[in-house]
Amino acid sequence: MDCVNIQRLLSEYIDGVLDAQTRDKVEKHLSTCERCGEEIESLKALIRDLETLPRVKAPDDFLEQLHERMHARFDFWAYIKGFSRFFQMRIPLQIAAATAMAVLIFAIVYSPHIGDRITDMQVDKVQEVLEEQEKETMTASAPMEIKAEMPSKPQAPAERDEQMGIEIQEVSKAREGAAVKSPEPALEKLEPTLKRTSQPPVPMTAAVKPVLPKSSAEEVQRIELSLLLKRADKGDVRSRSYDMEAKSAPSVPEKTSARSFGAGGEEKLGGVTLKDKQRFDYFKEDNAIQEADTEGSPPRDGSGTWVLSPYEARKQVESFVAKVQGRMLKVETKDKTDVPVYVDVEIPADQYSDFYRELHRIGTVRSSLPAISEKDQNPIQIRVRFVME
Amino acid sequence: MSEAEKTTERSIMEDIDLINAFKAGDKTAFDALVIRHKDMVFNLCYRFLGDLQDANDAAQDVFIKAFKALKRFRFESSFSTWIYRIGVNTCKNKVKSAEHRYREQTTSLDNPGPGRDGDPPMEMADESPSPTVALESKERSMIIQKAIHSLPKGKKKMIILRDMEGLSYDEIMNITGFNLGTVKSKIARARSDLRGMLRGVL
């Protein structure tokens, strides 16, 4: 056996793990080979050095340190395990599925995001109706005026305000140029009544700079609502007057006309004229009937459906405005008729929710309800646009 | 049976009794096991890691693992072999960690410096008879330690278990899971490499 092979066995030879035959061979070689003898001596010295390397001892407080660490660790894991037991409970699959479904339905129904989408869809529908109505109006009036009055798409509040401002300026110019038709007789009758309110008088059909002045933009909140009115059936007299549109003057029910616009005393009652008070009383009765209708009593008109024309709807709005000591700012009518397209009103902010409820009695408010702080002392301006179904 | 073997045998039996007591619910039996083996485990960890603070942390980790696993101990080896195995694996993982690698690069064996968190450095017991001999011995030890640390992990493990801890080939087989031939050849190669590194230095 040569030196290389012998030197490979020296480690095992030192440790005494060679078999007897191999050990003899190694011993025989070592007795004759000086180089391998040096090799084994250096290896033995190394092993001796390694064996005699100083040993280190654990610190005296090793056990205490260990206890501290174990307590901290096992307390933590005990807490985690206790908590995880809750999740290890076996819940029947049906119950789990039913719970998950309930949570899902709740999330869908009460998700404000989804609610917004539904409202947006409603607004889009109303907008379609508005556009159709707009087309009808365009056939009878100057294109420039209509373009200014009717925004083609729903707009953000700021945008809408700006648009309204433009609209008013346009209408104002048109009025100056005698482009806008003079008000119908019924509206002229209304004007004296409005003049007696506590607010400065505003002509009903005037293009109305005070309505949306830029300077008061921060103070007055403006809202635009669309009020969807049901189309009248053929048998209904009031609605037929609307359907006839520009062909003839609308036939207003006598009773209403007399009560609303008849001449009489002008005694003021806390900002509300006696006339207004009377009109309010009238509409209070009327509203009471309407409320009864909504609660399930049969409809009153001849066709079997409760119908209110834009003209009557406008009067209802006027009455409410008078009731809350607000003021009418503008009534925009269709060309050559007194059929109102929209009315601008100003009411105290704290009357907003009542006003909104009032509109619901008249028709269906299809615009989303803007958030209004009723504590706000500033008045709010609302444009109620009448939309025929 | 030699006296040393008898002592070892007695020690093994005592360990078995303590383990059985622990399994029966006597938690203090584990404390007794810790006290009996803490120096051996601590030393093993120090050999692997070369840092007293790291060795202390690792040794505690070893006993925590042992505490959790002791109920499943099946007496297929001695407790000391079992805990050596845990120690070797724990240190192997510690060495792997990036933190330790960083510390290894920046800590000098000549001047270990303060421990973690500003603790004073742990000192090894100095039992040398004279300052001169002590200095020579200490220097020699440092050089050897440094050389061991520069060995590849597998070879380092063999040197520590066989030559520094004095374990038998059987025990090493038990701890590492290698067969006898592999253990023999690995020990031989590790020694050869270490001697080559120290040749001309010592």
pLDDT at A302: 41
Closest-CA distance of chain A to residue B83, Å: 15
- Does residue B19 contact residue B70 with C-beta atoms inside 8 Å? yes
pLDDT in tens, B79-100: 999 999 999 999 988 877 755 5
Record the tokens describing residue A234, joined without a space.
């053929």
CB-CB: which of A8, A53, A58 is closest to B164?
A53
Please give the distance of CA A275 from its chain centroid, rounded to a whole number. Answer: 41
User: Contacts of residue B192 in chain A, CB cutoff 8 Å?
Assistant: 11
Percent of chain A exceeding pLDDT 90 equals 13
- Does residue B1 contact residue B38 with C-beta atoms inside 8 Å? no
Torsion of CA B199, B144, B189, B183, to 10 degrees: 160
Least confident stretch, A49-53, A63-67, A252-256, A350-354: A252-256
Closest-CA distance of chain B to residue A34, Å: 18
The yes-or-no verdict on residue A287 having pLDDT over 60 is no
pLDDT in tens, A210-254: 344 444 444 567 788 888 876 555 444 443 333 333 334 444 443
User: pTM for this structure?
Assistant: 0.45
In chain A, whose CA is at the least distance from the CA of B31? A63
Stated as kind and residue range, the H or E segment containing A328 is: strand A327-333
Record the tokens describing residue B15, joined without a space.
């360990």
- Does residue A167 contact residue A149 with C-beta atoms inside 8 Å? yes
Rg (CA), chain A: 46
CB-CB: which of A10, A59, A63 is closest to B122?
A59
pLDDT at B130: 59
- Going from N- to C-terminal start, the domains of chain A cover 3-44, 181-388
pLDDT at A24: 93
Mean pLDDT of A22-46: 92
Would the CA dihedral through B61, B67, B73, B77 be positive or negative?
positive
The DSSP secondary structure of A219-281, one letter per residue, reads TSEEEEEEEEEPPPPTT-HHHHHHHHGGGS-----HHHHHHHH------EETTEEHHHHHHHH
Determine whether A134 is exposed, middle or buried from the number of CB atoms within 10 Å of its CB (0-12, 13-18, 19+).
middle
Neighbours of A307 (CB within 10 A): 25
The yes-or-no verdict on residue B41 having pLDDT over 80 is yes
- If one compares A384 and A367, the residue with the highest pLDDT of the two is A384
pLDDT in tens, A309-363: 777 888 888 888 888 888 888 888 877 677 788 888 888 888 888 888 888 777 8
Closest-CA distance of chain B to residue A120, Å: 57
Mutate to test the interface with B, among A6, A55, A68 (most CBs of B within 10 A): A55
User: Contacts of residue A49 in chain B, CB cutoff 8 Å?
Assistant: 140, 144, 202
- Does residue A253 contact residue A238 with C-beta atoms inside 8 Å? yes
Mean pLDDT of B137-163: 88
In chain B, whose CA is at the least distance from the CA of A71? B64
- Taking any CB pair shorter than 8 Å as contact, residues of chain B touching chain A are 31, 34-35, 38-39, 41-43, 46, 52, 55-56, 59-60, 63-64, 67, 122, 124-125, 127, 137, 140-141, 144-145, 159, 162-164, 166, 169, 184, 187-188, 191-192, 194-195, 198-199, 202
The yes-or-no verdict on residue B21 having pLDDT over 80 is yes
* Neighbour-count burial for A289-304, b at 16+ CB within 10 Å, e otherwise: ebeeeeeeeeeebeee
The domain B1-106 is placed in CATH, from the list 3.30.360.10, 1.10.10.10, 1.10.1740.10, 3.40.640.10, at: 1.10.1740.10
- Going from N- to C-terminal start, the domains of chain B cover 1-106, 125-202
Neighbours of A352 (CB within 10 A): 22
In chain B, whose CA is at the least distance from the CA of A66? B60
Query: Is B145's CB within 8 Å of A66's CB?
Result: no
For tokens 């006898």, name the residue: B180
Q: Which of A189-198, A346-355, B94-103, B178-187 has the highest mean pLDDT?
A: B178-187
The domain B125-202 is placed in CATH, from the list 1.20.210.10, 3.40.50.720, 3.90.1150.10, 1.10.10.10, at: 1.10.10.10
B24/B16 Cα distance (integer angstroms): 12
Comparing C-alpha atoms, which of B187, B13, B12, B97 is closest to residue A12? B187
In chain A, whose CA is at the least distance from the CA of B37? A58
Query: Is B198's CB within 8 Å of A46's CB?
Result: yes
pLDDT-derived band at A110 (thresholds 50, 70, 90) equals confident
